[in-house]
Amino acid sequence: MMNPERYLSRIGVSPETVSEVDLTTLERLQRAHVTTVPFETLSITGDPFGERDGEGVVLSLPALYEKIVVGERGGFCFELGWLLADRGFDVTRLAARVVSAIEVPANHHPLLVTLDRPYLVDVGMGPPMLRRPLALGDRADPDGAGVEWRTVESDRPDAEFCLQYRTSGEWTDRYVFDTTPRDLRYFEATCDYLQHAPESGFTGDTVVLRATETGFVKLDPDAFTRVSGDDTDERSIDPDAYARLLRTEFGIDPP
């Protein structure tokens, strides 16, 4: 049985402190999620140093709960985000298309949460990560990592909006999306493609990422990177260090 209080504890939020359905609570939950639950591909790639294959990604809410909450793992965009509806928020699943990746339909899955106005909420991106809700048609001041975000009308016929970001200089497109409601089954074909196709960005080297208040940490099979604002610290690692960092930085037991 899926327990929302256990999910809140998983992201470091005391269940008794989450009672209001408002923007402050939404911001708190999104920030807690992206800084606690890693973006990771171990289910697809398996153990980078051993014989164990990844168990695969199944788009079933009980299976995702068992993995992320009970197993204290991470995931990618299709696997995250059911908690808000349980807390009473008006949530719509959206299909997006990351413009810098292989352009298959619905290759990303953000959420739309309606309060006084619609807000884009996303807890399943690699860097740069969206750390707080973003009102549609609005622009947000730079976050703790120095990233500024906005949504604008898309000039593409297959999308209503475009999410853009910048740290300095010109705006960069992150992904395009529309506000058509989707259910989880809508993403099954793309999820299957992304975890099996040789050209998919998820079937190469294992990657584990987690947002921090000022940047992010990233674990590759041969390197650990910590980014804070404009500062980047990258160091080479061996398999023993990989296993240790997977546990200490991301809370994941090695495969």
Return the CATH number at 43.
3.30.2140.20
Q: To which residue do tokens 């037991």 refer?
A: 253
Inform me whether the pLDDT recorded for 101 exceeds 60. Answer: no
Task: Tell me the chain's radius of gyration from C-alpha atoms.
Answer: 18
Inform me whether the pLDDT recorded for 252 exceeds 70. Answer: yes
Inside any domain, residue 255 = no
Inform me whether the pLDDT recorded for 200 exceeds 90. Answer: no
Percent of the chain with pLDDT over 70: 96
Give this prediction's pTM.
0.92
Label residue 60 by pLDDT band (50, 70, 90): confident
Q: What backbone torsions phi and psi does residue 205 show, to the nearest 5 degrees?
A: -65, 145
Per-residue pLDDT, 103: 64
- What is the mean pLDDT of the segment spanning 72-78? 83
The domain tally of the chain equals 1
Per-residue pLDDT, 162: 96
Domain holding 85, by residue range, is: 4-250
- What is the mean pLDDT of the segment spanning 206-213? 94
Question: 3-state SS of 85-115?
Answer: HHCCCEEEECCEEECCCCCCCCCECCEEEEC
Inside any domain, residue 89 = yes
- What is the mean pLDDT of the segment spanning 98-106? 74
Per residue in 12-35, pLDDT (tens digit) is 999 888 889 999 999 999 999 999
Inside any domain, residue 18 = yes
Is the distance from CB of 124 to CB of 80 less than 8 angstroms?
Answer: yes
- What is the mean pLDDT of the segment spanning 169-194? 92
Q: To which residue do tokens 């947002």 refer?
A: 211
- Tell which wins on pLDDT, 81 or 64: 64
Inside any domain, residue 137 = yes
Inside any domain, residue 107 = yes
Per-residue pLDDT, 214: 95
Inform me whether the pLDDT recorded for 202 exceeds 90. Answer: no
Inside any domain, residue 229 = yes
Strands (DSSP E) contained in the chain are 39-40, 90-93, 96-98, 111-114, 118-121, 134-135, 139-140, 148-153, 161-166, 172-177, 208-211, 215-220, 223-228, 231-236
And the tokens for 40? 């990771």
Inside any domain, residue 228 = yes
Inform me whether the pLDDT recorded for 221 exceeds 90. Answer: yes
Per-residue pLDDT, 104: 77
Per residue in 138-164, pLDDT (tens digit) is 999 999 999 999 999 999 888 999 999
Q: Which amino acid is at 31?
A: R
Is the distance from CB of 86 to CB of 25 less than 8 angstroms?
Answer: no
| CA-to-CA separations, 238 to 1, 51, 212, 221, 234, in angstroms, rounded | 39, 17, 24, 8, 13
Count Cβ atoms within 10 A of the Cβ of residue 103 and give its class: 0-12 exposed, 13-18 middle, 19 or more buried.
exposed
Per-residue pLDDT, 81: 62
Inside any domain, residue 178 = yes
Is the distance from CB of 50 to CB of 255 less than 8 angstroms?
Answer: yes
